[in-house]
Amino acid sequence: MKLGLAGYGFGGRWFHAPFIRAAGGGELAGIVVRSPDRVADARADFPDVPVFASLTDMIAAGGIEAVAVSTPPSTRVPLVMEAIAAGLHVVADKPFAFRTADALRMVRAAEAAGVVIAAYQNRRWDSDLRTLAKVIADGSLGRVQRVHNRMDFPSLDGLLPGPEGGLLGDLGSHLVDQMLWLLGPAVSVFAQTEQGEVPGGRTEVGFTVTLRHPSGAVSFSEASKANHLHARDLRAYGETGVFVVRGADAQVAAVLACDLPVGNRPDWGVEPEEAWGTLYLEGGAQRVPAVQTRYAEVYESFARAVTAGTAPPVPPSETLHTVAVLEAARASAAAGQVVELHEVADADAATTPKGDKT
């Protein structure tokens, strides 16, 4: 599958291009970027890959079957719709959409065109999350009662003015989606946000989102970019114990150190033993070996969905539910009230939150 990449900023350069290159079943066949500095980066990183000034130009040149859209959130919907109209399969970066109606419009357009669409929720493939999922599956915790999911960064980098550029779309898209993947759809949402100044205006710089899931478990997702702290931790409380793991995924650390996943190295992205989580049970504490994960699996799964008709890495119904939950979280924060949600049964049900949405 020949795949084009629209956007070569931080996300496109470090969290899409390396994993497209590392994935089996796909080839990076074009890059869309306009900033002179980022054009230079793209040509230095991929000297044999053509660079285009617009998605329209890349489509006109031909030779691509799919496109990954990793441009600023405000451009996401029109670019995805342009790609679908051209008959291209699409991977759309997070946030998939700011409004549920826009998310549904993209999904329905893809269905009508007969193309695959998938949200790039690569942090479903984080080692700490997958290790926790394994601990839950083997029954070590008993019935899960609550999960705390935190990710803090010490600077406001990456945030844009206005609600569409805030932290709920930025880190919230990842943390909330992780909890929905782990514990199932949300039946209620309660959220609080903090506002702060970024270049050009104000936006969300911190949040806490509380979700209640059908099993009765409650998840707490929280993040800040305004408190000068760099921290990542995941804690799960069950009837019989607690699992705690701290630290960023080894894949993230490797990529940001320019250690890229080329050559299918078996040791790439392996969590060091000091980063393993700890399971606390009645009989004492024990270290739990981290599950090795690969962000490249997102693109490998996407390629299989295109070529073999298998399920995409993130099914559209789950993508729509994540967008609906984030939209409900903004409504909850604005009103100071819990927002109830329909339990997800299909793509349409995922998009219809009910309750006070002022």
**Pick among 3.40.50.960, 3.40.50.720, 3.40.50.620, 2.60.40.10: CATH of 2-120+300-314:** 3.40.50.720
Averaged pLDDT, 318-337: 97
Note the residue count of the chain: 358
Whether omega before 95 lies within 30 degrees of 0, making that bond cis, reads yes
Buried-state track 48-78, b at ≥16 Cβ within 10 A, e below 16: ebbbbeebeebbeeeebbbbbbbbebeebbe
The per-residue pLDDT of the chain, averaged, comes to 93
Q: Is the pLDDT of residue 261 over 50?
A: yes
Q: Which CATH architecture has domain 123-293?
A: 2-Layer Sandwich (3.30)
pLDDT beyond 70 at 35: yes
**3 state SS of 308:** helix
**Crossing angle of the two packed helices 316-335 and 173-183, in degrees rounded to 10:** 120
Select from 225, 174, 219, 217 the least CA-distant residue to 11: 174
Position 346 confidence tier, pLDDT thresholds 50, 70, 90 = very low
The pLDDT tens digits of the residues spanning 59-110 come to 999 999 999 999 999 999 999 999 999 999 999 999 999 999 999 999 999 9
Instruction: Give the mean pLDDT of 241-256.
Output: 93
- The kind and range of the H/E element at 77 are helix 76-85
Q: What is the pLDDT of residue 41?
A: 97
The proportion of the chain whose per-residue pLDDT surpasses 90, expressed as a percent, equals 89
Give the containing element (helix H, strand E) for 58: helix 55-61
pLDDT of 345 strictly over 80: no
Predicted pLDDT at 211: 98
Please name every residue paired with 291 in a beta bridge, in sequence order, or none if there are none: none
Parts of the chain belonging to CATH 3.40.50.720: 2-120+300-314
Domain with CATH 3.30.360.10 in the chain: 123-293
Mean pLDDT check: name the lowest of 51-55, 297-301, 343-347, 351-355. Answer: 351-355
263-277, pLDDT tens digit by residue?
A: 778 889 899 999 999
pTM across the whole model: 0.93
Q: What is the pLDDT of residue 248?
A: 85
Question: If phi over 0 gives left and psi between -120 and 50 gives alpha, with beta otherwise, what is residue 341?
Answer: beta
